[in-house]
Structure 1
Amino acid sequence: MIMDNSDMESIIHSIEQGEGLDLDTEDFKEICLKLIADVDSNKINLFMLTENLEYLLTNPMPCKRKLGIAIITHVLENIKSDSLNTQQLGLICKFYADRLKDLHDASK
């Protein structure tokens, strides 16, 4: 079952419009809880989630990228352990390794 595009668009729109969206807000927690439920119920997969968070993950503003990483990390920390297959785990490892390289390169 695939998540209705309007549902995902609604979540992404909330994130994009949430200039004041902070990691400690109820809005952040609600968005993450919805995404966790959708991953656990196979309405969306990790690729779809990452693709839809592209606005945040590639944003030139570090605070936006931090928010995107926080959303993915929070989802990964809280989904069922059997929600990911081996290929998805490999992609996650590569993604975080690349982000660590970015952090290291930025500190030079």
Structure 2
Amino acid sequence: MPVYFLPDEETITDSQARKIAADWHSPASTGLTALSTTGAITEDVGAEIVAEIDGLNAELHPRGVFDALPSAMRQNEINDGIKALRDLEVYVTVHGPREAVPGWSNVNY
């Protein structure tokens, strides 16, 4: 999973937002799919981002007696994913909600 860094008090770029949404979308996540493909920020995308973060946190901090902790390498991947998703959460808060963005498919990542 790529690493994304959010400079202090700034949001990520459109390109970074599109890449993160593309990395995390699935057929069940319509908000992330819409963001990655059209630039639209729907009302459900924030909840989808939080659900992804919660899933990563659950993997990072297993609760079952017999659940193993992830390897150090996987812990780093999880932390990078959480950071990217939190950056995306800030982006959608600042820029949304919005309709599809003309030319979004030309935003390279």
TM-score normalised over the length of structure 2: 0.36
Higher normalized contact order (CA 8 Å, seq sep 6+, divided by chain length): 2
Say which structure is richer in helix: 1
Larger radius of gyration: 2
TM-score normalised over the length of structure 1: 0.36
